[in-house]
A and B are shown apart, each in its own frame.
Chain A
């Protein structure tokens, strides 16, 4: 039984990691109901860039200041405006009680839709502690299932392979989308514009817009729209678990789905020639570790 040792310099490992990093994408689209009047649709996609990687001893890797960049972060708020009333006051305390009828102030109208892509406003950095993990891929096994059937961008090998993964240690503590950092309440401003846009372009509409200055805010309040709508959108997305799912995608891309290196098993040591079949030797018991300047993989080869 023979042993083989493969060493990869830190710089080569960094180059390999950058190829891996540049291919990682995380994305999700879905719709949920934030409150009885507001439906939230999101369509987000991000990728990674930058960062510095250092090999540490004892199978430990440090990745610092990895940039999270958003290709799109589209949020659509669909707001159902129901019929609203004024009046309805019951006058009493005089030995009788009568009620002023409620009067519809405005009737149910088509939904208001507010669409914003806030990708340009968002940027985060991520730091990870990782270790390397060698796993055997059985090409004759069942077809890959999620998440890796969706997240894998490294081609699935046609033969068995030992695959080396960069496996993050735990979840990093990072706020994937703190919309509060945008500064102004862009969703609220857009909603106000949309509501004002609903008011008819006629004398009554002009009267309303000129004399009832807080009308859009009032309608927003009636619809239970939070005061800081952008902050609320951020919370709704957190509550919907979007950040956790995106982070899981991101980490799974490295830890489970896309190896940084692959070693064929059996490994071909001589190609086919002169009518002879190629010479391949089985590879077993692959283990991988790091020093502070290289990655080292060891394996048992041959029968």
Chain B
């Protein structure tokens, strides 16, 4: 008789190259909306529209709205998200849309457009192109090894991220390291992460970001 197997979140391991232009389970993209108004938020997978919602930015809003195309819409409160996070359709000015993927192979990109009262449309995010300054791209790392951080699809390694083996003594998944991407590159240019921890890159300039393993496929 075959024993039932553990249900592993395959999306965490399906790809080992993490790209801000192609969101997968380990990746999270924060895009801040500072200007009050109405925004059309769409997530695509290739040519297909995977998720669409409207977000109003106002003083009545919440600081963070999670957008998960794999969950079919805004995630309900409960398991799987961060302590204290609040979700809703109204976002505080300066708050963030949090694009993430809870399961599956991923491959999503996000588009956010500000819709004017006169029907005009202003694209404020198209992650398939680049993340605008002010955004944050984070990757939660579960495969030990060394990774390089590249920018804009180029081969140059701007920073190195080392992910340790699972260590029961230091298993603290709700921790991470911040790198800041400025005009001169990433600062600091290296990060050491424990298993299951995240690296977050705060963008001060527009860029697309790739995080790829250095010594394996």
A residues within 8 Å of B by Cβ?
81, 83, 85-91, 94, 96-110, 197-201, 204-205, 207-208, 211-215, 217-218, 220-222
Selected contact of A101 from candidates B80, B167, B197, CB within 8 Å: B80
Minimum C-beta distance from A199 to chain B (A): 6
A105 touches B12 (CB 8 A): yes
Segment at the interface with A among B26-34, B41-49, B53-61, B112-120: B26-34
Chain A residues in 8 Å Cβ range of B13: 204, 207-208
Q: Say how far B124's CB is from chain A's closest CB, in angstroms.
A: 17
Chain A contacts for B184, CB-based, 8 A: none
Q: Are B12 and A103 in contact (CB under 8 A)?
A: yes
Bound CA–CA A83/B8 (angstroms): 10
Assembled-state Cα–Cα distance A102/B9 (Å):
12
Contacts of B136 in A (CB 8 A): 91, 98
Known: A94-B202, A96-B32, A100-B28. A87 touches B168 (CB 8 A): no
User: Is the beta-carbon distance between B8 and A199 smaller than 8 angstroms?
Assistant: yes
For A100, list chain B residues within 8 Å (CB).
Answer: 28, 82, 100, 138, 140, 176, 198, 200
A98-B30, A109-B5 known; 17 new pairs, CB 8 Å cut-off, are A85-B79, A88-B173, A89-B82, A89-B197, A89-B200, A96-B32, A98-B63, A98-B98, A98-B136, A101-B100, A103-B12, A104-B80, A105-B196, A199-B6, A200-B6, A204-B8, A214-B165
Residues on the B chain within 8 Å of A89, using CB? 82, 138, 140, 173-176, 197-198, 200
Q: Is B23 an interface residue (CB 8 A)?
A: no
Q: Inside 8 A of B10's CB, which chain A residues have their CB?
A: 204
> A88–B30 contact, CB under 8 A?
no
CA distance A264 to B145 in the complex (A): 82
**How near does chain A come to B86, taking the closest CB pair, in angstroms?**
10
Whether the Cβ atoms of B166 and A217 lie closer than 8 Å is yes
Give me 19 A-to-B residue pairs in the complex whose CB atoms sit less than 8 angstroms apart, sorted by A's number.
Answer: A86-B196, A87-B196, A91-B138, A91-B176, A98-B96, A99-B82, A99-B85, A101-B85, A101-B98, A104-B103, A105-B9, A106-B6, A199-B5, A204-B10, A208-B13, A212-B166, A214-B166, A215-B166, A217-B168
Given A212-B195, A214-B165, A217-B166, verify A107-B9 contact (CB < 8 Å).
Answer: yes
Number of interface residues of B (CB under 8 A): 58
Q: Mark B1-39, 1 if CB is under 8 A from A, else 0.
A: 001111111101110000000000110101010000000
Given that A81-B6, A100-B176, A208-B13 are known contacts, is A218 also in contact with B171, CB under 8 Å in the complex? yes
CB interface residues, B 121-171, toward A, < 8 Å: 136, 138, 140, 142-145, 165-169, 171
Check B109 for interface membership: any CB of A closer than 8 A.
no
Report if A91-B4 is in contact (Cβ < 8 Å); known contacts: A98-B64, A101-B82, A101-B98.
Answer: no
**Do B80 and A214 touch across chains, with their CB atoms under 8 A apart?**
no
CB of B94 within 8 Å of the partner chain: yes
A86, A91, A208: which contacts B200 (Cβ < 8 A)? A91
* Residue in chain B with minimal CB distance to A90: B82
Given A204-B13, A217-B166, CB of A91 within 8 Å of CB of B6: no
